[in-house]
Structure 1
Amino acid sequence: MATATAASSDSKSRSSSTSNQSLMKIGLPYLVAIGAQLPMFLLFFRQMMSKTHYQTVWLALFATAAIVWSRWPREEKVPFRESTASNVLLGLGLMMGFGSFLFVEPWFCAASVMLLITSFLLKVVDTDRSNSLWTAALPLFVFLPLPFRWDTTLITTLQRQSAWLTSRLLDLLGLGHYLDGTQILVPGKVGYGIEEACSGVQSFFTLLFIAVVMMVVFRRIKTNLAGGTILSILGLVCLAASITLPFMFYIGVAFIIWGLVGFRAMALVYAAVFWAMFINVLRILLIPVLDVNGIADLTHGIGHIFLGWGALVIGLALLLSTDQLLLFLFGPVDTEMGEAGPFGKLITKFWNQLVSGQEDLNDSEKKKKRKVVSVKASSTQFAWIVAIILAVGGLWQASDVARALFQPGLKVQFFDADITQPMVEEDMPTQLQNWALVEGTGYQMQKRDRGSDLGRRSDVWQYRAPNCNAVVSFDQTFPGWHELTTCYRNSGWKLSNRVVIQPDVPDGEETWDIVEATFTKETGEKAYLLFSHFNGAGEPEQAPINVGTLESFLTRAKNRMSHRVRRSLFSSETYQVQVFVQHYGELGPGVKDEIKSRYLQARDILRQKFLDKNKTAAQ
């Protein structure tokens, strides 16, 4: 008996030693490739922490690490396997890493790191399912912002839909109100904004993250190469058809997700979207109803916080319930049950493969037939080639980060990227040529929560001019370019036109692009807007010509190759100067030229005041 025990212990020791050697052999090139990009990845993490909807990104890192730790094949003699998909993702990770080095763009770095992690996990054997641990990386991708600012478009759409649904429910409850964009206006009360309702712990991305973690932990993901390819092609066809039939977009996305992770996982993702809308509408509805009836003020304070967490708990419970419902409706069918014959078994097999998303684990013969192919030497060599290329690029990138970090007078706040400067009324003149500051109420200051879509602080000066009344506002800060036209659209304005203009100034004077936009309302009121941004060093932020398009991306990519951008990585927060004019009728060319001239004056004054305050604070 003692001999048998000793032999067993010896076997486990040899197995553990073999496993550790394999880990060093397979994992080391991935560790080098990821470590080379760590400085830029930390910068990406810092940027996400300053965005309201992505502040729970750290949970994704924890979730992936916990799932990998719990499922790691510690007892396997061959814990790694050959995977073609892993090599494909390794190549994509190299491409994204190259984009990060070239354009000093943290998004490319994050995509590269996530693809490298997924590539590595595709080679790790999952002993319970005889495949791999790649699904453990899925929580990371929830917090990778969509390209071309599609995530901003998605958030804005959710806010507008939430506001519209809440307004309809308030009508049913008989509460008099007016929906102005995403603002619910109740007579005698301050407007109730929708911005906060779709952010924070109860945001769409948080609930989507929970749904993805559930998919991975409860093993709801089932992939099938042939079926997944067909479904993905159908999805692409539907996306193409969405050009003329917009609703086909949602069907196309559903087919693509189905092809990648299975039907039940896709249904759970769509359920997360639905329940996110539901809990946000519920939250928005309760705030005005309870406030108007004198029951409770949940617009701020501890009540507002508890309402947000309560909504999240309700959303989690609804997701768990939906998962069980999907299991009941679309669960696996035992092929040995019933007397349907060969045709019935074929249908059952199709159902289990493409719909239920769960294989028959009781079929021991199938498990015995499965073979784990060891990682080929060519795959390891390819991984080392990628690691060496990324390591060389990482040295170049590290120098960019170091130069940006150790600039004289620069103070980097890693976990709180709020670098506002306290402006005062006297920072703007009482007379801006023929514009006069309104006495008494001409200056206002508004503070907001960290990560607000409207900025953390706004200093507003109201001027009265012979031809119009204008509002000059200095808004701070934003994590990169802030498309102000979206905020006005959420306030009930309809965007008529948006162009980027280069103002005419005397030779030798510094200037940069201005975004010019016009708006209308159903009431016949019109508005004229000018705005632009500069970073923490006072350097211009180039405006995208068409927000969310490939042309915009290419322009920004070209701009990011400049030395100015490469040395301002830690000054990525932007500061906004705007002039907003509301009017009826039409503004003549002369009036618009006057507004542009006053705007340039105001921008120069506010930028210089900001730089002076920055210099004083650094001393």
Structure 2
Amino acid sequence: MIEAHSPTRESTEPFAASSASEPLVREESVRAFVLHRRDHAAACFWGAVLSGVLPFLVKYCAAMWNQDLYQYFPFLLAAVFGLAYSRFDHRLSLPNGFWACFAIVLAVGFLVPAAALQSSWLGAIGFILLTYSFLASQTGRDGRSLAYLAIPMLMFLRAPLLATYTVMNRLQLITTDMSSIFLDVAGVLHNQSTNTIELVSKNLFVAEACSGVQSLFTVCFLSLVLLVYRRRSLAVVPVYLVFAFLFAIAGNVIRVTAIALAEEWFRVDITTGFHHEVVGYLCLAIAAGMLVSFDHLIGLVPGLTPRRQQNVAAATPVLGARETNEPAEFSVARSVRDFNRFQLISSGLAIACGLAMVVRYSMSEPDIRPVVATDKVLFEPSPSFLSSVNAPLRVVSHEVNRDAHGNRNARHGMNSDVWTCGIGSQSGQFVLSQPYMGWHELTICYKVQGWKMTSRATVAVAGEREPVVVADFDSEDGVHGCLVFSGVNSNGKLPRTPGHSPYSRVLSPIYPLVMDDFAETSGSAQTLMLQYWMIQPQPFDASAKQAAVDAMVKIRRRIAEDIGQKFQDALSQG
């Protein structure tokens, strides 16, 4: 038995633009929420659609937590729904209005293929749309819709790994450039080589984890939460995101500069460990402080904060006049009878999609491919490995790099084996880099080093599903480069090779997300990348490229066989 009460609405005063010490929004005290009898149908509807999307959310949130970039998401959900609870008028409403209903249609449109493909990412899009529809259907105590509170949910959607890597590499260069300038100002003798700061005592490599992309995502999330908390105009959302980007870079530049100064002035190593984490959080706090100061400045601009309505009673009926305080027993059957056809169909489809996801997931086999942390190795080749491959290669030397946090070649990743070799009259380098979270677009690593990519093509391999990628590059001094690369997963299978047509460039980053690729959900590394790099003064002809492709195919096949056999042996041993 749920007893309904009718709390009286407290009077609210319209507010003007506040001073620096006074918030623009005076939050009313949060009163206990009591479900009214007339709200039963709304509670039943929203509970039904939430239960339908819940199976997707469980898998999606687990994938989010596995990646450090998105571990802010519990705070994001708590902020959005906490603000909604504190601001709504304690009266649940069924979806009303065109945009709220249209969002439900779109949400169901994403949930259906999500269930068919077992895609938690598509299910998360459906959840975001349902969140918007729910908030747009509810009314705040000032008579306004709560739809604006859905803006931070944009940061709940995982970005493609390929796009994340691109941003990460750009941030590496920006951070290194800016830190070098500050070190010049501080009088620290150093040399900058791409994303490495070479001090007198040691070299500091600005790695992917130090690029600031994690701070960037976190500060963007904080900026959107601050925007809706202060009820800023929607027109300034892009402005907030741009300044969040700048503040995140500033905080990360401070971190890298502080690490270099600690090493040069005090001979204190804070590149790893607890002290490194503390410096990172302090710099994140500095970026957040900059964001708050910027928000205060925005608050001084007239018209960027909507005023509350003068006549709250006219905008929203007083709760005390809605119903009498009569007991109300919750009945699902009676609530469902209050649904119209649209609500009945949409809630039924959502529940059906959720059940289909549960059934298909329970019947699918778990992915048991070996994984390691992003600074470990999956495959340890012998120095003579390349010589044992039946390929026309002249091996000159072999170099092993296993210092994940030290000085390393940005083109080769955290751990690499580099063979200087030749094919015919053409000399080059074959590199086995590991580990990566799925396919790694190696052309990005060369572009951030100053090489200009002129073409990228995939070459089909007879008898094999996945092609080999060939990319041509030019440098500013007229040197031509050719990169031939492919990949192998830790179970001996080949990762999907993205194309480079306009259509493929749009869909290839999204494809792993839609298909819930293992790399996108596990947060672990399970892929080795293979590359052969050649440079010469004149452009490469087709025969030289084909010879490199033929050698790459044989090497890839041999590595896949060795890793696959190792994987099968591990399975047979339990």
Report the counterpart of residue 122 of structure 2 in structure 1. 108
- TM superposition shift of 1:95: 2.1
In 1, Cα distance between the equivalents of 2:178 and 2:288?
A: 21
Match of 1:47 among 53, 58, 63: 63
Report the counterpart of residue 472 of structure 2 in structure 1. 518
Q: Is the 8 A contact 2:434 2:529 kept in 1?
A: yes
Q: CA RMSD in A?
A: 4.2
Report the counterpart of residue 483 of structure 2 in structure 1. 529
- CA deviation vs aligned residue, 1:238-266 (integer Å, no higher than 9, x gap): xxxxxxxxxxxxxxxxxxxxxxx244x55
Match of 1:356 among 278, 301, 304: 304
Report the counterpart of residue 397 of structure 1 in structure 2. 357
Aligned counterparts, 1:203-602, within 5 A: 203-217=215-229, 219-222=230-233, 261-263=234-236, 266-327=238-299, 329-331=300-302, 355-360=303-308, 363=310, 366-371=311-316, 381-406=341-366, 410=368, 422-426=378-382, 428-432=385-389, 433-435=391-393, 437=395, 441-447=398-404, 458-465=415-422, 467-478=426-437, 480-503=438-461, 505=462, 509-522=463-476, 525-535=479-489, 537-546=491-500, 549-554=502-507, 575-586=527-538, 587-602=540-555
Identity of aligned residues (%): 19
Report the counterpart of residue 20 of structure 2 in structure 1. none
In 2, Cα distance between the equivalents of 1:367 and 1:376?
A: 32
Is 1:605 aligned to residue 550 of structure 2? no
When residues 284 and 207 of structure 1 are mapped into structure 2, their CA distance, relative to the original with a 3 A threshold, is: same
Letter aligned with residue 220 of structure 1: R
When residues 543 and 359 of structure 1 are mapped into structure 2, their CA distance, relative to the original with a 3 A threshold, is: same
In 1, Cα distance between the equivalents of 2:250 and 2:33?
A: 52
Report the counterpart of residue 73 of structure 2 in structure 1. 57
3-state SS in 1 of match to 2:382: helix
- TM-score relative to the length of structure 2: 0.77
3-state SS in 2 of match to 1:519: strand
- CA deviation vs aligned residue, 1:269-310 (integer Å, no higher than 9, x gap): 333222112112222333334433454333222332122111
- TM superposition shift of 1:512: 1.5
Is 1:140 aligned to residue 85 of structure 2? no
In 2, Cα distance between the equivalents of 1:574 and 1:423?
A: 10
Match of 1:193 among 206, 211, 226: 206
Letter aligned with residue 97 of structure 2: S
The answer to which structure, 1 or 2, has the higher relative contact order (CA under 8 A, 6+ apart) is: 2
When residues 541 and 194 of structure 1 are mapped into structure 2, their CA distance, relative to the original with a 3 A threshold, is: closer
- TM superposition shift of 1:205: 0.9
- TM superposition shift of 1:176: 5.2
In 2, Cα distance between the equivalents of 1:561 and 1:367?
A: 45
3-state SS in 2 of match to 1:356: coil
- CA deviation vs aligned residue, 1:379-413 (integer Å, no higher than 9, x gap): 85423312222333334433443343446xx3799
- Flag structure 2 segments of 5+ consecutive residues without an equivalent: 9-30, 323-334
3-state SS in 1 of match to 2:402: strand
3-state SS in 2 of match to 1:207: helix
- Flag structure 1 segments of 5+ consecutive residues without an equivalent: 1-7, 223-260, 332-354
Report the counterpart of residue 615 of structure 1 in structure 2. 568
- Greater fraction of residues in helix: 1
- TM superposition shift of 1:499: 1.6
Q: Is the 8 A contact 1:81 1:372 kept in 2?
A: no
- TM superposition shift of 1:574: 5.4
In 2, Cα distance between the equivalents of 1:87 and 1:474?
A: 49
When residues 23 and 501 of structure 1 are mapped into structure 2, their CA distance, relative to the original with a 3 A threshold, is: farther
Aligned length: 524
3-state SS in 1 of match to 2:269: coil
Letter aligned with residue 323 of structure 1: D
In 2, Cα distance between the equivalents of 1:438 and 1:556?
A: 37
In 1, Cα distance between the equivalents of 2:339 and 2:405?
A: 52
Q: Is the 8 A contact 1:460 1:472 kept in 2?
A: yes
